[in-house]
Chain A
Amino acid sequence: MRTLVSPLALRTPRGRVIYWTILTVTVVGFTGAFVFPLYWMVTGALKSPDELAQIPPSFFPKHFDLHVYVDAWEQLQLGVFLKNTVLYAGGAWLFTLAVDVSAAYALSKLRPIFGKLVLGAMLATLMIPPMVLLLPTYLVAKDLPIFHADLLNTPWAIWLPAAANGFFVFLLKRFFDSIPRELLEAAEIDGASPARILWSIVLPVSRPIIGVVSILSVVTVWKDFVWPLLVLPETDKMSISVGIASLSAQMPQNVLIASLVIASLPTIIVFFIFQRSIMAGLTAGSLKG
């Protein structure tokens, strides 16, 4: 497809030189800006505290000793933090899907009275960033109204608020709206219950959007910092980000850096595998969000 620069201009010798120069500058620049810091992190962990303090720094670590990663794992109880984070993100994922898919299905296909009002109230929450409601939301988690339960230091403090996501409801509902009515009506005539229709017809055709919502919900919980910082203050219950941040002051520099590497591995691996869905979610969010 034709873009800003015409293909003709690129074919001239001058055009070719300019193109390859810009390409080289971009590739080198991007690598320097976005990959080099990560290289510095991975190799920094392998350096001894003395080597880290050395000026000028060494480009390659002197010894290739992975022992520091073992130290980090043990000293920072990274295993516990990782297990907690998996529990929080995994539970939030299942809970979000169950809650938001059924809500979006009800709003899109069952169309109850006041459905538009409910949807409007859910979308209105997108206008108010969670940060400004941090204190009252924290108080809710601390002493749940009506139920009078203290959710602090329990996974529910992460799972329940994670499901209250207007953007997910919006994405799912918009997708469900595009499913032809005839498909569902045929099943209805055959005597299928709404739950059955949701499970056997709506869910299978909605796989792409469910994939996007799944990844967004897992990554959001995994990356979150402020909320778990407040609601999971016990060291044994901390998520990996909060755990590392709160223990960072007491750690030798290289152990801290090793723990940063370990903490960033899961999200980067997820990105490697689900690149396509993640980027699809991004552009879905750019239109409305």
Chain B
Amino acid sequence: MDDKTTSTRRPRSAGTAGGVGTAEAVEDLQVGWGPESRLAERHEPPTPHGAGALRRAVGRNLTAYGFLCAALICFALFSWYPMFREVVLSFQQNNFVDPGIWVGFDNFRTVIADPAFRSAWLNTAAFSGLALVIGYAVPFVLAVVLNELKHAKAYLRFVVYLPVMLPPAVAVLLFKWFYDPGAGLFNQVLGVVHIPPLSWLDSTSTALISLVIVSTWMNLGTGTLIYLAALQSIPGELYESAELDGAGLFRRVWHVTIPQTKLILLVMLLLQIVATMQVFIEPYLLTGGGPENATVTVAYLMYQYAFNFGDFGGGSALGLMLMIALLIFSTVYLRVSREEDAR
């Protein structure tokens, strides 16, 4: 079953047995995971001599695939095959009783012609963008501050990660109550500082930012703790010598802290883009895509196509487009993390 993912790659007749995998594909996939390939080469099993050795090698392979078979079945069914199926679905019209009919790019034309399509991509981009503006620098700043504090360390670390531990559905429903235009917590707090109440989720101008706020609150802790770990590996001498050279606080951040954490900052940037572009639960539970499509996202539209309109073809077409968009970021991510390995 795993043929499906591999057979799309250019076959080469280097195969010893089965001819399923190609050495080329192995290399292709391995390059990105630098240390793996290096490790693997070092411990290449010894070349067998004679019939006894051959029998042992066959036995070893059979045992190994015995250990692997459960994982191969799970991955094949729920990871590899769905990738292939997504492509097929998006070019087919399907009622799941008769075999699907190939319709070329019809599904893509249908979803692109949908007025919600444009809104969905714009909203998704706006959501990711706003989440970056609000949520990207904040964890880094918090980590820098936390790293300087000598008191209440355990408490602060615990507390910042607390929202991450809540089930997302709970956090989102909690914020739905906070956003209540009447007695909701946020308007009450605004009232205390004499700011007129906002309609939060009910207005086209504030609905999307309300979703970004929940999402940022839920996920802030992860970034903060990851940066904190990265900051702790910066050698103290660097700050020492920067200070001797007369660098002030902000110049030390700019010339020592940021360059030293540059790669992790870049990796987190890409991970955050990939994560926020899949936003689904916030619009699903808070707004249902409204008001006036102001919070429809690509993932939400995909869900609607499949489960509200019964159009799996259109939904898969959207899924495929989102997958390609995210693959671009994932590829950059792989290159960046490979660079990190090389260091």
B183–A55 contact, CB under 8 A?
Answer: yes
Closest CB in chain A relative to B43 CB, distance in Å? 7
For B68, the chain A residues whose CB sits under 8 A away are: 102-103, 106-107, 112, 118
B137 contacts the other chain (Cβ, under 8 Å)?
no
* Interface membership of chain B positions 277-288, coded 1 if the CB is closer than 8 angstroms to chain A and 0 otherwise: 010110001000
Asked whether, in the complex, the Cβ of B163 is within 8 Å of the Cβ of A245, the reply is no
A240 near B148 with CB under 8 A, answer no
Minimum CB distance partner of A230 in chain B: B307
Residues of B close to A123: CB separation below 8 A: 29, 32-33, 36
Q: How far is the CA of A121 from the CA of B243 in the complex (A)?
A: 48
Out of B43, B79, B280, name the residue touching A111 (CB < 8 Å): B43
Of A22-30, A63-71, A72-80, A205-213, the segment with at least 4 beta carbons within 8 Å of chain B is: A22-30
The residue in chain A whose Cβ has the minimal distance to the Cβ of B22 is: A117
- Tell me if A271 is interfacial: C-beta within 8 Å of chain B: yes
Q: If the complex has contacts A194-B63, A245-B173, are A4 and B226 also in contact, measured as CB distance less than 8 A?
A: no
Residues of B contacting A: mostly: helix
Query: Quick check: A116 and B169 within 8 Å, CB to CB?
Result: no
Question: A135: which of B25, B86, B252 is its contact (CB, 8 Å)?
Answer: B86
- Give the chain A neighbours of B320 by CB distance below 8 A: 132
The answer to whether the Cβ of A154 comes within 8 Å of any Cβ in the partner chain is no
Could you say which residues of chain B place their CB within 8 Å of the CB of A148?
A: none
> Could you say which of A2, A117, A131 contacts B239, with CB atoms under 8 Å apart?
A2
Interfacial residues of chain A within 9-50, with CB under 8 A of chain B in the complex: 19, 22-23, 26-27, 30-31, 33-35, 37-38, 40-41, 44
* Residues from chain B with Cβ under 8 Å of A37 in the complex: 163, 174, 178, 185, 217
Binary CB contact string for chain A from 101 to 114 against chain B (1 if under 8 A, 0 otherwise): 01101110011111
Contact B226 A282 (CB under 8 A): yes
Known: A112-B64, A225-B281, A241-B168. A160 touches B77 (CB 8 A): yes
Known: A37-B174, A134-B302. A245 touches B45 (CB 8 A): no
A4 touches B225 (CB 8 A): no
Report B55-76 residues with CB < 8 Å from chain A CB: 60-61, 63-68, 70-72, 74-75
Could you tell me the distance in whole angstroms from the C-beta of B79 to the nearest C-beta in chain A?
4
Q: Is B339 an interface residue (CB 8 A)?
A: no
A56:B145 contact, CB within 8 angstroms: no
Q: Which residues of B lie under 8 Å from residue A171 when comparing CB positions?
A: none
Task: Assess the B326–A128 pair: CB atoms within 8 A.
Answer: yes
Q: Does B156 lie at the interface of the complex (its beta carbon under 8 Å from any beta carbon of A)?
A: yes
By the criterion of a CB under 8 Å from any partner CB, how many residues of chain B are at the interface?
Answer: 128
Shortest Cβ distance from A126 into B: residue? B330
For residue A187, CB closer than 8 A to chain B, the reply is: no
Cross-chain contact A30 with B226 (CB below 8 angstroms): no
A/B pair count, beta carbons within 8 Å: 326
Separation of A260 and B285 alpha carbons in the complex (Å) = 14
Please tell me if the beta carbons of B71 and A4 are within 8 angstroms of each other in the complex. Answer: no
Mark contacts of A167-210 with chain B using CB atoms, 8 A cut-off: 1 yes-contact digit, 0 otherwise: 00100000001000100000000000010001000000000000
Is A271 in contact with B162, judged by CB distance below 8 angstroms?
Answer: yes
Evaluate contact between B40 and A116: CB separation under 8 angstroms. Answer: yes
List, in ascending order, chain A residues with CB within 8 A of B65's CB: 106, 112
The docked-state distance in angstroms from the alpha carbon of A43 to that of B343 is 51
Query: Could you tell me if A103 and B147 are in contact, using CB atoms closer than 8 angstroms?
Result: no
Judge whether A115 is part of the interface by a CB distance below 8 angstroms.
Answer: yes
Pair A244/B170 contact, Cβ less than 8 Å = yes
**CB of B81 within 8 Å of the partner chain:** yes
* Contact B162 A256, beta carbon cutoff 8 Å: no
Q: Distance in Å from the Cβ of A76 to the closest Cβ of chain B?
A: 12
Q: How far is the CA of A56 from the CA of B183 in the complex (A)?
A: 8
Contacts of A112 in B (CB 8 A): 60-61, 64-65, 68
A118 and chain B: residue at smallest CB distance: B68
Is there contact, CB below 8 Å, between B278 and A257?
no
For B161, the chain A residues whose CB sits under 8 A away are 271, 278-279
Please indicate the chain A residues that have their CB under 8 angstroms from the CB of B173 in the complex.
244-245, 248, 256, 260
Given contacts A2-B239, A129-B326, A136 and B79 within 8 Å (CB-CB): no
CB-nearest residue of chain A to B330: A127
The 0/1 profile, CB within 8 Å of A marked 1, for residues 3-41 of chain B is 001100000000011101100011011101100110110
Chain A CB within 10 Å, residue with most, of B26, B43, B146: B26
Closest residue of chain A to B321, judged by CB?
Answer: A132
In the assembled complex, A94 has its CB within 8 A of some CB on chain B: no
Chain A positions 113-162 with a Cβ under 8 Å from a chain B Cβ = 113-125, 127-129, 131-141, 143-145, 160-161
Q: Is the CB of B162 within 8 A of A103?
A: no
The reply to whether B78 and A4 contact each other, CB–CB distance below 8 Å, is no
The reply to whether the CB of A3 lies closer than 8 angstroms to some CB of chain B is yes
Which residues of B are interface residues toward A (Cβ below 8 A)? 2, 5-6, 16-18, 20-21, 25-26, 28-30, 32-33, 36-37, 39-40, 43-45, 60-61, 63-68, 70-72, 74-75, 77-83, 85-86, 89, 96, 144-149, 151-152, 155-163, 165-170, 173-174, 177-178, 182-183, 185, 188, 191, 217, 221-222, 225-226, 229-232, 234, 236-237, 239-240, 243, 249, 252-253, 256-257, 264, 267-268, 271, 274-275, 278, 280-281, 285, 299, 302-303, 306-307, 312, 315-316, 319-320, 322-323, 326-327, 330-331, 333-334, 337, 340
Give 7 closest A-B pairs by Cβ, nearest first. Answer: A120-B29, A2-B236, A112-B64, A103-B71, A110-B64, A241-B169, A106-B67
What are some 15 contacts across the A-B interface (CB < 8 A)? A22-B149, A23-B152, A57-B183, A110-B64, A120-B30, A121-B75, A136-B83, A140-B82, A140-B85, A143-B96, A164-B77, A194-B63, A245-B285, A257-B174, A275-B158
